[in-house]
A and B are shown apart, each in its own frame.
Chain A
């Protein structure tokens, strides 16, 4: 008798579970650079997407439908992105694309997004002014990131002359171009601007030029990873100790660089040290879910986490996954996540709270100043509200 009851219970449980599964899932496409230049950061992006999906599914999904993540490798570049976007949009027929990618991959994917009429949330900081009727961006652009560093150098160290060094690609040049105009608009002078190819590692001549120009402050924007590390090491070996703002270093890299990174100024919309209940809960949930395999959450992975929730809010406001209705709603909804309360309502971009930090001797980033709701400026005037 007892066994019969158990069996009935099991069947009932199975039926309830079956009903939940029977609801067609909402598919979220995530094209991301699992191979190539972004492969160092991509695992953290995948992890934060997984956490968001798990949390949302545990709380009943979106409009009662579970989330299913479809992850595709974009190879960190244009060719791979075309394949990834094509298969996600036309074969997997995802409801939305949410991803952190290189600018090359994003630019290659946008025509496919436009053709497939799929909402797309871009979650990587980038050089700005990329516009599509189907795209929203919830990460920073130069207008938001450069100003805190330059302002701080000018106010704190009375820096008047700047030197700019970067890697020769869209992001490196875009960031420094903006930095130059910002410095000049604020009464400073740029003494020199030097670039090395992305795979270059010998900064000898650049550093000698920098030293002979003798500027008050240095701002760099290299590709992440190796170029950033080689430049910083060679700068330190050459005895450069002027205020040094690095637009491309993240907390993890700074930490592993050890003593060479000490004193570097960074500006970011997310650092692990943000003191808020949302950030504490997020970090605890990440540590709990991934344990020893946890990739440190960063300024690229946290926007990804928040974007999944922003999409959830938009679908709930629209009442369906209909692309036009969702795009309409994405510009209105808010979500309070580890980086604070976000609304993607400024010409498809997002006002963000930015943090100016300095790397301390033990490799952690100390917040010097925070700037609430920094405006992204004129990014896509055609979408002005």
Chain B
């Protein structure tokens, strides 16, 4: 029974880590970044290269985050910024970008499966049950991430500007906030978070050119349900991720794979504001 509780908490927190980058970009830029899955994949390959270079696997997520942030800034300048006035085209552009990144990775590394070292192996004992120690570690890191992101949004100048842009971009610009800069930094931050999350989940997965794809759909649904707020994303991840675990455990893992999508659609049908608070 307590294994189930741990499964729910760890799954929810992993989903939160994976979806947070998508949410930040959606909030500030009103842009659904369909390249999110590809960014996760890039993070996975960064972890793989970190292992290859013989660097401690604990550093793979921070390195992936930095790499993603820089790439995000470049991509924002070249691809996203010229399309600010055409939001639908911008979404299509990120979709295309995802395909391009996927193909570039395939060309560079081949279609095969690669491996990244795990910083932690083995299990932790919780009295009667033992549980994967890396999942526990990821859960703690994801929780730290939630705290750090909240602090960034509520305790810093950048956060204040970002929240102003989220609430009313025209007004924020009128008050002298450089919204273009906020957007650029946000896209970089979102991309960096996605890459770091990709590197973080890699020890549980294989590194291959499509590794990010299954996560894109679930992240998208979670963000739709949660709206732009870190606490509500946390709640949405735990509730929907928990439902996925429960259905997978007691009904069938195949139906479990559909749970998040179906539940998200139901939640939005009943309450268009989803689970958003604040």
Chain A residues within 8 Å of B, Cβ to Cβ: 39-40, 168, 194-197, 199-206, 208-209, 211-212, 225-226, 229-230, 233-234, 236-239, 253, 256-259
Q: Of A197, A238, A258, which is within 8 A of B115 by CB?
A: A258
Is the CB of B205 closer than 8 A to any CB of chain A?
A: yes
10 A-B contact pairs sorted by A residue (CB < 8 Å): A196-B253, A196-B254, A199-B214, A201-B211, A204-B245, A205-B248, A226-B208, A234-B132, A239-B132, A259-B121
Q: Of A168, A206, A229, A239, which is within 8 A of B113 by CB?
A: A229
Q: Of A196, A226, A238, A253, which is within 8 A of B132 by CB?
A: A238
| Residues from chain A with Cβ under 8 Å of B11 in the complex | 202, 204
**B125 nearest CB neighbor, chain A only:** A239
Binds A, one of B2-10, B55-63, B155-163, B261-269: B2-10
Is the CB of B210 closer than 8 A to any CB of chain A?
A: yes
Beyond A200-B214, A206-B248, A230-B204, list 19 extra A-B contacts (CB 8 Å).
A40-B110, A195-B252, A199-B213, A201-B205, A201-B214, A203-B253, A204-B11, A205-B245, A205-B249, A205-B256, A206-B253, A208-B249, A212-B3, A229-B206, A233-B203, A237-B203, A239-B130, A256-B113, A256-B114
Cα of A168 to Cα of B203 in the assembled complex, Å = 23
| Residues from chain A with Cβ under 8 Å of B131 in the complex | 238
A249 to chain B, nearest CB (A): 11
Q: Of B3, B113, B206, which is within 8 A of A208 by CB?
A: B3
Whether A237 contacts B204 by the Cβ 8 Å rule is yes
B137 to chain A, nearest CB (A): 11
| Residues from chain A with Cβ under 8 Å of B252 in the complex | 194-195
| Residues from chain B with Cβ under 8 Å of A230 in the complex | 204-206
Is the CB of B135 closer than 8 A to any CB of chain A?
A: yes
| Residues from chain A with Cβ under 8 Å of B111 in the complex | 39-40
Cα of A258 to Cα of B52 in the assembled complex, Å = 13
A148 to chain B, nearest CB (A): 26
Cα of A203 to Cα of B133 in the assembled complex, Å = 16
Q: How would residues 163 to 195 of chain B score, 1 for a CB under 8 Å from any chain A CB and 0 otherwise?
A: 000000000000000000000000000000000
| Residues from chain A with Cβ under 8 Å of B205 in the complex | 201, 226, 229-230, 233
| Residues A237 and B135 in contact in the complex (CB < 8 Å), given A168-B254, A225-B113, A256-B115 | yes
Interface size on B, residues (CB 8 A): 39
**A237 nearest CB neighbor, chain B only:** B132
| Residues from chain B with Cβ under 8 Å of A204 in the complex | 7, 10-11, 245, 248
**A204 nearest CB neighbor, chain B only:** B7
| Residues A225 and B253 in contact in the complex (CB < 8 Å), given A237-B135, A238-B131, A239-B132 | no
Q: Of B110, B123, B214, B256, which is within 8 A of A238 by CB?
A: B123
Within 8 A of A (CB), among B103-118: 110-115, 118
Q: Of A226, A256, A258, which is within 8 A of B211 by CB?
A: A226
Top-9 shortest CB links A-B: A205-B248, A229-B206, A239-B123, A237-B132, A205-B249, A226-B206, A39-B111, A238-B132, A40-B112
Q: How would residues 64 to 105 of chain B score, 1 for a CB under 8 Å from any chain A CB and 0 otherwise?
A: 000000000000000000000000000000000000000000
| Residues A200 and B257 in contact in the complex (CB < 8 Å), given A226-B211, A236-B121 | yes
Q: How would residues 235 to 250 of chain B score, 1 for a CB under 8 Å from any chain A CB and 0 otherwise?
A: 0000000001100110
Chain B residues within 8 Å of A, Cβ to Cβ: 3-4, 7, 10-11, 110-115, 118, 121-123, 130-135, 203-206, 208, 210-211, 213-214, 244-245, 248-249, 252-254, 256-257
| Residues from chain A with Cβ under 8 Å of B10 in the complex | 204
| Residues from chain B with Cβ under 8 Å of A209 in the complex | 249
| Residues from chain B with Cβ under 8 Å of A225 in the complex | 112-113, 206, 208
Cα of A239 to Cα of B122 in the assembled complex, Å = 6
B204 to chain A, nearest CB (A): 6
B260 to chain A, nearest CB (A): 11
| Residues from chain B with Cβ under 8 Å of A238 in the complex | 123, 131-132
Whether A237 contacts B245 by the Cβ 8 Å rule is no
**B15 nearest CB neighbor, chain A only:** A202
**A38 nearest CB neighbor, chain B only:** B111
| Residues from chain B with Cβ under 8 Å of A237 in the complex | 118, 121-123, 132-135, 203-204
Whether A194 contacts B3 by the Cβ 8 Å rule is no
| Residues from chain B with Cβ under 8 Å of A259 in the complex | 121
B142 to chain A, nearest CB (A): 15
Whether A226 contacts B115 by the Cβ 8 Å rule is no
A290 to chain B, nearest CB (A): 16
| Residues A233 and B204 in contact in the complex (CB < 8 Å), given A201-B214, A205-B253, A212-B3 | yes
Whether A200 contacts B253 by the Cβ 8 Å rule is yes
A112 to chain B, nearest CB (A): 27
A34 to chain B, nearest CB (A): 10
Of listed A226, A236, A259, residue having the most chain B CB within 10 A: A226
B251 to chain A, nearest CB (A): 10
A276 to chain B, nearest CB (A): 29
Q: Of B122, B208, B245, B254, which is within 8 A of A195 by CB?
A: B254
| Residues from chain B with Cβ under 8 Å of A256 in the complex | 113-115
B267 to chain A, nearest CB (A): 21
| Residues from chain A with Cβ under 8 Å of B7 in the complex | 204-205, 208
| Residues from chain B with Cβ under 8 Å of A253 in the complex | 113
Whether B204 contacts A234 by the Cβ 8 Å rule is yes
A128 to chain B, nearest CB (A): 23
Whether A226 contacts B214 by the Cβ 8 Å rule is no
Whether A199 contacts B245 by the Cβ 8 Å rule is no
| Residues from chain A with Cβ under 8 Å of B214 in the complex | 199-201
| Residues from chain A with Cβ under 8 Å of B122 in the complex | 237, 239
Of listed B10, B134, B206, residue having the most chain A CB within 10 A: B206
Cα of A233 to Cα of B118 in the assembled complex, Å = 10
